[in-house]
Structure 1
Amino acid sequence: MEAKACIDSLAVKNSHVLPPDTNSHGTLFGGKLMAYIDDVAAIAAVRHCRQPVVTASTDSVDFLAPVFEGDTICLEAFVTWSHNTSMEVFIKAITENLLTGDRKVCTTAFLSMVAVDENNQPVSVPPVYPESEEEVWLHNSAQRRHEHRKERRKESKELAEKFGTGLPWKRE
């Protein structure tokens, strides 16, 4: 498979923050922002591999600044690294007060997406190469994040096995 540049997968999503999108503090629901993140990450991943994708994991989503009703939010996502069937996607969200022009990075996140075939089985994805200084920085640190994800997934499986589907306070 021919390698592709990070920028080739760039996806941008803009949205106006309206009253139904906000909580009692007048700020964007975190879950709404997470849905935007998953959506734009999937678009970037499909652009990279030209296959359907599923979300395999979400690293920490860091909420750095509030997004107020009336603001816009712009999410930018691109594939930073790939490994066999998976892709790491970096997402940056910027909030903008349209009246003042004040802009802030409000969120950053990494998601892992897996390419799948028509039977939902993982399929190979093309390698990715960085070009800009920022892309190189993200690409060079991706292997470390990948290893951390593998360890976290192992721990999650152990938790699922230990606690199962029963209620934690009910002994069977």
Structure 2
Amino acid sequence: MEHQDSPTPERPIFEALLYPHRSLGPKGYAILLAGTAAIVFLYGMVFLVMGAWPIFGFLGGEWLLFWFLFRKNHRGDDRAERIRLYADHLLFERYDRQGGHTIERLQPYWLSVILDRAEEPDNALYLRSHGKSIAVGAFLSPQERRDLAAELREVLSRHRSAPVPA
């Protein structure tokens, strides 16, 4: 989760970019694949030297399946959400796994930040305004949703109490 506070006319007053946590970065991914390939190759060579050559092929096939499934898992969660607060509106953008992009525009003065079941592990965060409700950060941890809710409430409160420019 990245955010910035910068009140300039062309920039948002507040911006948060939300995305799922990745415990393994690109370098770690490469090390994992190279390490497992080396181990599988060495085991395969032992069986090849012993004369059990079909096992070498099965180990290679097993590693290819591991690589395919791990790559699919590693690339499969490209979700992201962006929240931007401007002087007269809040813009919520959602990018889904299939590359879809949705944009919601909300009026910040009537916006409510709702954290259902705040202290429970399955809490849910919503932005509500004029009968419209948007779920936010479903991929975040419960504590990250609590922190985001508190930060959004504080930013909206400051924004609502700021003097209106003439």
- Relative to the length of structure 2, the TM-score reads 0.23
More strand by share: 1
TM-score (norm 1): 0.22
Instruction: Report the structure number with the largest CA radius of gyration.
Output: 2
Higher relative contact order (CA 8 A, sep 6+): 1
